[in-house]
Amino acid sequence: MQTIARNHWERDNAISEINSAGHIPVSFYLSDIKAWLITTEENGMQAVAREKDVIKWACERNIFETATPVSQHGKTLEEVNELTLALMMGDDAETKDAIGDIAVTLILQAHMHGWTLGECLESAYQVIKDRKGKMVDGVFVKE
């Protein structure tokens, strides 16, 4: 089970559903689209394996030999623009694909720096976990 939750209520309900099904929920906040990806622990482990698949795919295509962190950043922005269009069109299939494409570009960017996406997520979480702020027009604004 995987769900995109756009607010705390949707997130909490998705987590409750996973718990009631006897699974351990895992939640990732996707700041670009201001939503949470809620999945099961099993799917979370699948994400780690898939990260390795993405790196292998990139190696087979010589991406790391020719791309730079700056060019990879450009690819990420291209995919974020595709996400924006999908959201504006209300196209769930394209939204899901765009989020996946963004994840691929971030995996490659992290790898170029010698990190995993999980390490980057943990680093960001350690910075934000105690952050205070408030919601303004649907956006969290830190103090």
- Domain assignment present for residue 141? The answer is no
Report the run of H or E that residue 126 belongs to, with start and end.
Answer: helix 117-128
Angle in degrees, CA 118, 123, 129, rounded to 5 = 110
**138 lies in a domain?**
no
User: How many residues are there in the chain?
Assistant: 143
- pLDDT computed for residue 10 by the predictor: 83
pLDDT tens per residue, range 26-35: 676 666 667 7
- Confidence band, pLDDT 50/70/90 cuts, at residue 133: very high
Residue 60 maps to a domain: yes
Q: Specify the pTM.
A: 0.68
The whole domain housing 76 covers: 2-131
Pairing of strands 139-142, 133-136: antiparallel
Residue 26 belongs to some domain of the structure: yes
What CATH number is given to the structural domain containing 62?
1.10.287
User: Tell me: the pLDDT tens digits for 64-89?
Assistant: 999 999 999 999 999 999 999 999 99
The total domain count for the chain is 1
pLDDT of residue 28: 67
- Based on the number of CB atoms within 10 Å of its own CB, is 103 exposed (0-12), middle (13-18) or buried (19 or more)? buried
Evaluated on CA atoms 50, 52, 55, 61, the torsion sign reads negative
Residue 142 within a domain = no
136 in any annotated domain? no
Is there a domain that residue 94 lies in?
A: yes
